[in-house]
Amino acid sequence: MATDVLTGSDDPGRTAPAPTPRRTRRRGGIRSAEATAGWIFVVPVVVILGLFMLLPILMALWVSLTDWNGQGSPFTGKVPLVGLDNYTDLFTRDGLARQNFMTSIRNNLYYVAIVVPAQTVLALFLALVVNNRMLRGRSFFRTAFYFPSVTSSVAISVVFLFIFANSGAVNRLLELFGIDGPQWFADSRGVLHILFGAVGVDTPPASLTGDGPFGLPWWEWLSGPSVAMCSIIILVVWTTSGTFMLMFLAALQNVPESLEEAGRLDGATRWQRLRYLTLPSIRPTLFLVLALGVIGSWQVFDQIYVMSQGDPAKTTLTPAYLSYRTAFRDFEYGSGAAISFVLFLIIIVLTLGQRWLLRERDSGRRIRRPRRRGRETGRRS
């Protein structure tokens, strides 16, 4: 009877029901299946990238720490290990290696300072032109502006060699205006030195003849791009602006028309609408174009190889070409690999700096909520 009372049953012959087992959740399920399938698709790509990109980078890093001359394997004990000597030769030790490297850095700095703003402004201007709905034949102009970007850079470089020859089309055109054209690929004078000479400063001041940063005189740092480098700059700006034009065009087509109409209703001029409405709307694309422009400008190689090979007087020498020449012509593979890794660090630092400069300035600010007067009076009382 006591059992019946405890079980709540009126029938004395009826037994208590067996407790139902708890349902245990199965670990994984759909999520684990999706994760497994994802790894199945990702692992081949990771393996390929590791074998053909990460592993060669690590091998090149090891080579940069040795004095390998290209004979045999660089991973045997016969190759002398020099540590960071290949890097210190580029910055601290006086010699031909540091002089050539700093000359290439100077040339590339002027190259980047001109090419990146020029190609960005030109690409944005072309995108604004072909984005105009009132323009007839927009498809033709898009194709015409983009065509140089898909043409072989080696072929265009050869064509520009004929255009900028001593009796080429450029000098012939300058003769029509009574101007004697320079010998474009034989003139090693810097543009700033030419301007200084035009105002009567033919010899460097005594204060600029001493050693400047990293052993290069200040007068050499202030030379500006050479005449030969200017011709290469014109070529690169013309060939790269088409690709960046398409990027800007895609961004401009995503800008809502209501934003433009609101600016017109408020009485904003075309320049004000571009500055305060359009450019902030395409800021991510602007950062992408600038980042790709800086990376490509520091990696310039094929135009230098075809058109000048660092001449005249090393005024078109760039770090990328210097790395190639040091490794595959001078057979100093350790120094060539060290130059490439220094160039890699320069690109990373400049890209991060651009991202910091173009960041959203107002996104990190915290909005302070004003206190309610009722709470303040209640606390005071």
Q: What percent of the chain has pLDDT over 90?
A: 41
* Angle at the Cα of 68 from the Cα atoms of 63 and 69, rounded to 5 degrees: 135
pLDDT digits (tens, 9 = 90+) for 134-193: 788 888 888 888 988 888 889 999 999 999 988 888 989 999 888 888 888 888 888 888
| Structure token pair of residue 318 | 């760039």
pLDDT at 376 over 70: no
Long-range contact pairs involving 246-251 (C-beta distance under 8 Å, separation at least 24):
246/127, 246/142, 246/146, 247/123, 247/285, 247/288, 247/289, 248/123, 248/124, 248/126, 248/127, 248/128, 248/282, 248/285, 248/289, 249/127, 249/130, 249/131, 249/142, 250/285, 251/281, 251/282, 251/284, 251/285
What does the pLDDT read at residue 21? 54
Q: What helix, strand, coil percent values describe the chain, rounded to 5?
A: 65, 0, 35
pLDDT in tens, 289-306: 999 999 999 999 999 999
Max CA pair span of the chain: 127
Q: Which residues pair with 211 in a beta bridge?
A: 217
The candidate with the shortest Cα–Cα distance to 291, out of 334, 355, 376, is: 355
CA separation for the pair 50, 379 (Å, rounded): 64
Question: What does residue 301 show for φ and ψ, rounded to 5 degrees?
Answer: -140, -50
Q: What is the pLDDT of residues 84-128, one digit of tens each?
A: 999 999 998 888 889 999 999 999 999 999 999 999 999 999 999
Contact between residue 285 and residue 305 where contact means Cβ atoms under 8 Å apart:
no
- One-character DSSP codes across 55-114: HHHHHHHHHTTB---SSS-TTSTTSPB-TTHHHHHHHTS-SHHHHHHHHHHHHHHHHHHH
Those residues with Cβ within 8 angstroms of residue 153's Cβ, 6 or more apart along the chain or in another chain: 239, 302, 303, 306
Rounded distance between C-alpha atoms, residue 99 and residue 220, angstroms: 11
Q: What is the pLDDT of residues 249-281, one digit of tens each?
A: 999 999 888 888 888 888 888 888 888 888 989
Residue 217: strand, helix, or coil: strand
Paired residues of 217 in beta bridges: 211
DSSP 182-197: --TTT---BHHHHHHH
- Reported as type and span, the H/E element at residue 313 is none
Averaged pLDDT score across all residues of the chain: 84
Alpha carbons 332 and 45: distance in angstroms, whole number: 33
* CA distances (Å), origin 21, targets 17, 18, 25: 12, 9, 13
Backbone CA torsion sign across 337, 339, 341, 343:
negative
Q: What pLDDT is stored for residue 370 in this prediction?
A: 45
Q: Residue 259: name the closest of 273, 245, 248 by CA.
A: 273
CB 87 within 8 A of CB 71: no
Where b means 16+ CB within 10 Å and e means fewer, 131-168 reads beeeeeeeeebbeebbebbeeebeebbeebbebbbeee
* pLDDT (tens digit per residue) in 338-353: 999 999 999 999 989 8
Spatial CA neighbour of 204 closest among 193, 188, 213:
193
pLDDT recorded at residue 18: 58
pLDDT tens column, 226-253: 999 999 999 999 999 999 999 999 999 9
| DSSP 3-state of 211 | strand
Q: Is the pLDDT of residue 287 over 70?
A: yes
In three-state secondary structure terms, 125 is helix
